[in-house]
Chains A and B, each alone.
Chain A
Amino acid sequence: MPANPNMKILIVDDFSTMRRIIKNLLRDLGYNNTAEADDGQTGLPMLQNGSFDFLVTDWNMPGMTGIDLLKAVRADENLAKLPVLMVTAEAKREQIVYAAQCGVNGYIIKPFTAATLKEKIDKIFERIDG
């Protein structure tokens, strides 16, 4: 069973195909309440106005990158506690460590599987609820 099937999730990725894949995987996991943005610049105002419960973001995007979006979220007192899962192709150790230092809740590298996505989401919400 999903952590909270009604939670509102924002998916931020510059590639529409990746957004569609994540959206379909989330729906298969029981999360139907999703919205999409193509980079941090469009995603941040949506987060600020939209009472989202969870953010899934790519790192490398034009405009505003995922790491900058993560920093902006952590710096905004209304969003600071929003769980953030990064789904990215960036695989350098120092970058993963940096994302952790910036307060990411989970880190998935592409290419990834449906099982990995489920596992990370479950883990994030287990920790928050527990």
Chain B
Amino acid sequence: MCDSDSHKEMLSIAKRLVAELEAGNNDQATSLVDELAHIREGELFQEIGKLTRELHSSITSFEIDSELCDITKSDIPDAKERLNYVITMTNQSANRTLTAVENAIPYCDALHDKSVQLGAEWKRFVNREMNADEFRQVSKTLEGYLAESEEQLDAVKGALNEILMAQEFQDLTSQIINRVIKMVDDVESHLVNMIKATGSAPVAAKEEEKGKLEGPQVPGLSTSETVNGQDEVDDLLSSLGF
């Protein structure tokens, strides 16, 4: 019931009350007083209802705050730990892979060089440019090469397996990063809700620092200020006379 309605109603009851009292109708007067009290009570209930709603929304927004507090107290430090672990794992994997490659390359080089040498000698043999002594020597070299190559190829295969196993981080790091992305999503929605609840106007975005290093480009997030790949770098530099 709006204020002016209740005001009019109270006024009309009051007028009737005066009339009934002047006429000496006490019973009617008493029931009119009850009616007035009833109107008053209605307003009071409305007021309590409003207060209750406000209290409820305050409590709800306070709950949002406390959830956000939990996130800042535990989830964010936790996420930092997780991301540091991602760095550790990817670093370990890169080093493990590089070590395996560096171990395998000398074997590949040795196999390659020996193949080139034997290939040349074999060609001489086929062309009948080789005497018997030389051929015996080449046969020995070939025998040694076959034995060595077996060992060296095993070592190369071992290195390839090592590289294979060094990729196991990808599964774990993806899971960790997914959890952190979810946490960032949660924080975002809590902050949006808080801003909605308090009704604050958005603060103007800070102007970008000039000359700031941006780090790696992410596909889909590049702007007109950044280049997309090496071809654009080359185009830009050649437009400058490079």
Contact B240 A97 (CB under 8 A): yes
Using a CB–CB distance below 8 Å, which chain A residues touch chain B?
16-17, 20-21, 24, 27, 59-60, 65, 89-97, 100, 107-110, 112, 116
- In Å, the complex CA distance between A100 and B105 comes to 36
User: Besides A96-B236, A100-B237, 8 other CB < 8 A contacts?
Assistant: A17-B98, A24-B101, A89-B215, A90-B213, A95-B211, A95-B213, A97-B240, A116-B230
Partner of B233, one of A16, A21, A108: A108
Contact B237 A96 (CB under 8 A): yes
**Known interface pairs A17-B91, A89-B215; A94-B225 also in contact (CB < 8 Å):** yes
Using a CB–CB distance below 8 Å, which chain B residues touch chain A?
91, 94-95, 98, 101-102, 105, 211, 213-217, 222, 225-227, 229-230, 233, 236-237, 240, 242
Interface centre among A21, A27, A93, A112 (most CB of B within 10 A): A93
Q: How many A-B residue pairs have CB under 8 A?
A: 63
Contact B229 A109 (CB under 8 A): yes
For residue A120, give the distance in angstroms from its CB to the closest CB of chain B: 9
B-chain residues with CB within 8 Å of residue A116 when the two chains form the complex: 230
**Known interface pairs A89-B216, A110-B216; A100-B240 also in contact (CB < 8 Å):** yes
A-chain residues with CB within 8 Å of residue B95 when the two chains form the complex: 16-17, 20
**Known interface pairs A17-B98, A24-B102; A97-B236 also in contact (CB < 8 Å):** yes
- In Å, the complex CA distance between A65 and B213 comes to 10
Closest to A60 in B: B213
A-chain residues with CB within 8 Å of residue B236 when the two chains form the complex: 93, 96-97
Closest to A100 in B: B240
Contact A17 B233 (CB under 8 A): no
Contact A90 B215 (CB under 8 A): yes
For residue B16, give the distance in angstroms from its CB to the closest CB of chain A: 82
A-chain residues with CB within 8 Å of residue B229 when the two chains form the complex: 109
Contacts A/B (CB < 8 Å), 6 sampled: A59-B213, A60-B213, A92-B227, A100-B237, A100-B242, A107-B237
For residue B224, give the distance in angstroms from its CB to the closest CB of chain A: 8
- In Å, the complex CA distance between A107 and B227 comes to 12
Contact A109 B101 (CB under 8 A): no
